[in-house]
Amino acid sequence: MHHFHYVDEELYCENVPVGRICEDVGTPVYVYSRETLVRHFRKFEEPFADLNHLICYSMKACSNLAILHVFCGLGGGVDIVSGGELYRALKAGVPPSRIVYSGVGKKAAEMDEALEADILLFNVESEEEVELLAQRAGTLGKKARIAVRVNPDVDPRTHPYISTGLKRNKFGIEVERSLDLYRRAGSMESLEPVGVDCHIGSQLTDLSPFMEAVDRLGELIGALRSEGINIRYLDIGGGLGIPYDQEEPPSPADYGQAVIERVRDMGVTLILEPGRVLVGNAGILVTRVLYQKRGTLKHFVIVDAAMNDLMRPVLYKAYHGIWRVLQDGRGGEPRKVIADVVGPICESGDFLAQDRELDEMRSGDLLALMSAGAYGFSMSSNYNSRPRAAEVLVVGDEYFVVRERETYEDLIRGERIPDKTP
Ligand SMILES: *Cc1c(COP(=O)(O)O)cnc(C)c1O
């Protein structure tokens, strides 16, 4: 469910015509619907109402301050994976008591920043990381609350690049080996083991891998408590999928019910780290058709957005629906074409859709790449010296530019030619 819909033949986000935003702001542009963000957060949270819980939005999915502000206003926290994300979260007003810090490669300076902020929890992933965190916390005179991210070795059956909970993945520590690490951490003055954590992958369309993982974590909590390690938090990560194309992922309600059944009697505060399911369908990327080119084998639609704006198609072979912002008003069924939608970048991987059946269109037409809210803008780059797109948040009948389109000056910020260059 989202708030992008047609009124007559024109695509609207909530009560604002998408075409008007493009006239004012230009293309390519990311457009987010606030109402959809709110709805998704509430739907996701609903099943957990009777349990102590904290929803820590996985902000790498879409880290704009305005988006963080929306979720924070609904009582949410964030899951961060870098010092930069901590900086953003604090700027957006997220209370440190609602921040958890995940990631396999935290640097000392990043740990220090998070310790100074006094975040809720560090999700630690290796023996060496635990040693460093203990040392940094000791030096700063702090006590770091930690959860060990365990790798429950379940197959999430998703794209290999977004599968994280198998033994061959770089993430987490095997359940059996985590016990020693908990004992070691428990003996350290500057660390307090308070939680158990996992995150098994992304875009999961089946409940069973989640449930297997939760069961394994439940057993681990029992084992730890029997040794006197007082586990108070269970963090089950994110990963719930969304429909991009034909997928039929479990609803947040079904997911929530299944989790609740298992967690209800564990006596923990449940932490959830949803990313995609909150923002994915709440955002679109709008682009303008520049040219069309008909070869003998392929029909190419060349647009002004490219792989630097939306990496998912080339990175994961991901599918994004393509809707026309203005449907043809000439009556009758539009003619169809089978086309590749490609950008201006000098790479054959620069496509947004391949062999896609689309309504026949003309140069100048606007196209919306649907479900682009998650891992869209946040993965964008300046490749080919392309300024990154603007981001717009729609609120009812108003819209706000929440990130300006980058300028050419932005592109060279911080660069300099050394004096010694002849
Ligand atoms: C990416 C990530 C998430 C969010 O995953 P989604 O599939 O977007 O829900 C949650 N936790 C961790 C540790 C992550 O790396």
Model pLDDT for residues 78-107, shown as the tens digit of each residue: 999 999 999 999 999 999 999 999 999 999
Instruction: Tell me how far apart the alpha carbons of residues 191 and 352 are, in angstroms, rounded to a whole number.
Output: 46
Angstrom CA distances, 288 to 16, 325, 332, 342, 366, stand at 18, 10, 24, 11, 4
Q: Which atom of ligand 1 lies nearest, measured to the CA of 123?
A: 13
Q: Has 346 been annotated as catalytic?
A: yes
Domains of the chain: 4-31+280-412 (2.40.37.10), 103-272 (3.20.20.10)
CB of 373 within 6 A of ligand 1: the answer is no
Q: Which atom of ligand 1 lies nearest, measured to the CA of 61?
A: 8
Instruction: Tell me how far apart the alpha carbons of residues 294 and 302 are, in angstroms, rounded to a whole number.
Output: 11
Sign of CA dihedral 240, 50, 57, 35: positive
pLDDT class for 186, splitting at 50, 70, 90?
very high
Burial class (CB in 10 A: 0-12, 13-18, 19+), 235: buried
> What are 227's two structure tokens?
């040794």
Q: Is pLDDT of 53 > 70?
A: yes
Question: pLDDT at position 329, please?
Answer: 62
The residue-averaged pLDDT of 364-389 equals 98
Q: Which atom of ligand 1 lies nearest, measured to the CA of 164?
A: 15
Question: pLDDT at position 331, please?
Answer: 64
- From 54, 82, 102, mutation site for ligand 1 pocket: most ligand atoms within 8 A of C-beta: 102
Compute the radius of gyration of the chain from its Cα atoms.
Answer: 23
Kindly report whether the peptide bond that precedes residue 160 is cis, defined as omega within 30 degrees of 0: no
Closest CA to 134 of 186, 197, 195, 82: 186
Instruction: Tell me how far apart the alpha carbons of residues 124 and 121 are, in angstroms, rounded to a whole number.
Output: 9
Query: Do the Cβ atoms of 147 and 197 come closer than 8 Å?
Result: yes
Ligand 1: distance of its center to the CA of 125 in Å?
15
Would you call 34 helix, strand, or coil by DSSP?
helix
Residue with tokens 């629906």: 321
CB of 58 within 6 A of ligand 1: the answer is yes
CB of 61 within 6 A of ligand 1: the answer is yes
∠ Cα 322 326 332 (to 5°): 95
- From 59, 202, 205, 210, mutation site for ligand 1 pocket: most ligand atoms within 8 A of C-beta: 202
- From 54, 58, 151, 210, mutation site for ligand 1 pocket: most ligand atoms within 8 A of C-beta: 58
CB of 238 within 6 A of ligand 1: the answer is yes
Closest CA to 312 of 387, 366, 374, 241: 374
Arithmetic mean of pLDDT over the chain: 95
Model pLDDT for residues 311-362, shown as the tens digit of each residue: 999 999 999 999 999 987 666 778 899 999 999 999 989 999 999 999 999 9
Model pLDDT for residues 17-40, shown as the tens digit of each residue: 999 999 999 999 999 999 999 999
Ligand 1: distance of its center to the CA of 389 in Å?
24
Which bin fits 23, alpha (ψ -120 to 50), beta or left (φ > 0)?
alpha
Catalytic option among 56, 62, 72, 346: 346
Would you call 394 helix, strand, or coil by DSSP?
strand
Q: Which atom of ligand 1 lies nearest, measured to the CA of 280?
A: 8
The whole-model pTM stands at 0.96
Ligand 1: distance of its center to the CA of 401 in Å?
26
pLDDT class for 421, splitting at 50, 70, 90?
low
In sequence order, the 6+-apart residues with CB closer than 8 A to the CB of 316 are: 159, 161, 162
**pLDDT over 90 percentage in the chain:** 91
Q: Beta-strand (E) ranges in 42-143?
A: 53-58, 77-80, 99-101, 121-124
Residue with tokens 């770089």: 170
Q: Which atom of ligand 1 lies nearest, measured to the CA of 276?
A: 8
Residue with tokens 């923990």: 268
Model pLDDT for residues 233-266, shown as the tens digit of each residue: 999 999 999 999 999 999 999 999 999 999 999 9
